[in-house]
Structure 1
């Protein structure tokens, strides 16, 4: 049952875990993916290129789209929400590929959908992976990495999970462990409809965690809302800094929160 009033974590919540989606990064200009104003709706050709079955022909578009998104993230930096989570010292499970949690200072980040800040080999049998320098263009060289893998010669690609691809095993296993260990499980900026990430809040709740959704426009579906003990229909970039100041007993607005 969702309780009324704004929830604030207390001293009984020693193990706080966050699950974040594109909503927490939207303020940087990255936008979200689903909904009437989402990337898939406004640029359907981009959504079409995200299917693994279209590789390798879709590589130029992948480099253009993900390289641009990585560049936007690098230029605009973490949001107040990212910074507040980092200052709380809480582990993060994220569906985002922008690296903003790490840029804010979070040390434990399970990236379920990979990272647009890295390139990998297109061959599933090769383990080559390297950081890239986000740029503007549809070639890997535009982002500071070679077009062919230096170890096996196959094409290179952004290290992001496409439709029809399985999530990386290690981050997913880490996410499940974090959900099971959480005393407070907080979902921020995600639709709560994409599996297996959508199963993490129910998993945390089943293991005794208090579950909270922070979203300026929470989903109306009763089945989605029922997973949460508290729903905060407010801007996470205001709620999370307030939480951090309360829990860390500091006052004022940090100079680190420029947005």
Structure 2
């Protein structure tokens, strides 16, 4: 049932272009948790939130490597959730606010990472294009996560490739996200509060271009203005809803061994 007490919405053959917007709620089952709210990372570890301000670089690098390296390690150790796997099996493009790489690990091919990736390292030098894949470990140094502390190309410090407060979102990812939202005929937000801009503009953009909009969140926001953006609100666990959708659309039977978590 949906939040309004009606039969749960499910996509049909008329929805040829499904686009997902995902947030930390989709990955919470891995142990990564969410960021906002009374039980979120920012509230539980306020020093971590403070380290996320770009103006504190490079002094905040030890905290950044510690936090994001741990996040990447948890994601790699756990692997994709049933929700990630269902989205991948649907073959739908994804816009994500997550930095854990779990959509790609599940097999999704088109992923716009609005907030970067904890599985990548980049150079702190604004003109340098060096990047490398992180091998997440435990510790507060770049070397603890498989990358050099100094850029091999220019000597500047290296950092996790995640977007900090006061930094712009990656232009290519944002451009792709807007393009996907405009062409969607079904736009589905999963596990995201929908209040952080510019991601908060994507569902309204899709709706303005004729898409049906759906929110799947076990605890949907009460704000009427936010709820009005969505044609359907499903107040249920995405890890149950999305596999059900996938089985219906792909006409396959229940196969629990595919969803080990």
Taking structure 2 as the reference length, the TM-score comes to 0.98
Structure 2, gaps ≥5 residues long: none
Once residues 29 and 229 of structure 2 are traced to their aligned partners in structure 1, the CA distance between those partners, rounded to angstroms, is: 26
SS in 2 for 1:90: coil
Aligned position for 1:177 = 179
| Secondary structure of 1:255's aligned partner | helix
Distance in 2 (CA, whole Å) between partners of 1:29 and 1:58 is 24
Q: How does 1:87-102 map to 2 (within 5 A)?
A: 87-102=89-104
Deviations 1:128-177 (A, max 9, x none): 11101000000000000000000100000000000000001000000000
Cα distance in 1, alignment partners of residues 153 and 253 from structure 2: 52
Where does residue 191 of structure 1 map in the other structure?
A: 193
- Give the deviation of 1:248 after TM superposition: 0.2
- Equivalent of residue 42 in structure 1, options 38, 44, 49: 44
Give the C-alpha shift of residue 120 in structure 1. 0.1
User: Would you say 1:60 and 2:69 are equivalent positions?
Assistant: no
Q: What runs of 5+ residues in structure 1 fail to find an aligned partner? A: none
Aligned residue number for residue 107 of structure 1: 109
Structure 2 residue matching 1:223: 3-state secondary structure: helix
Q: Which residue of 2 aligns with 1:248?
A: 250
Deviation at 1:232, TM superposition (A): 0.1
Alpha-carbon RMSD across the aligned residues, in angstroms, is 0.8
For residue 256 of structure 1, report the CA deviation from its aligned partner: 1.9
> What is the alpha-carbon distance in structure 2 between the residues aligned to residue 257 and residue 182 of structure 1?
27
Alpha-carbon distance between aligned partners in 1 of 2:173 and 2:233, rounded to the nearest angstrom = 26
Indicate the residue corresponding to 1:211 in structure 2. Answer: 213
Shift of 1:5: 2.4
**TM-score with structure 1 setting the length:** 0.99
Matched with 1:132 is: 134
3-state DSSP class of the match of 1:149? coil
- Displaced runs of 4+ in structure 1, greater than 3 A? none
Q: Tell me the equivalent position of 2:32.
A: 30
Secondary structure of the structure 2 residue equivalent to 1:25? helix
Partner of 1:159: 161
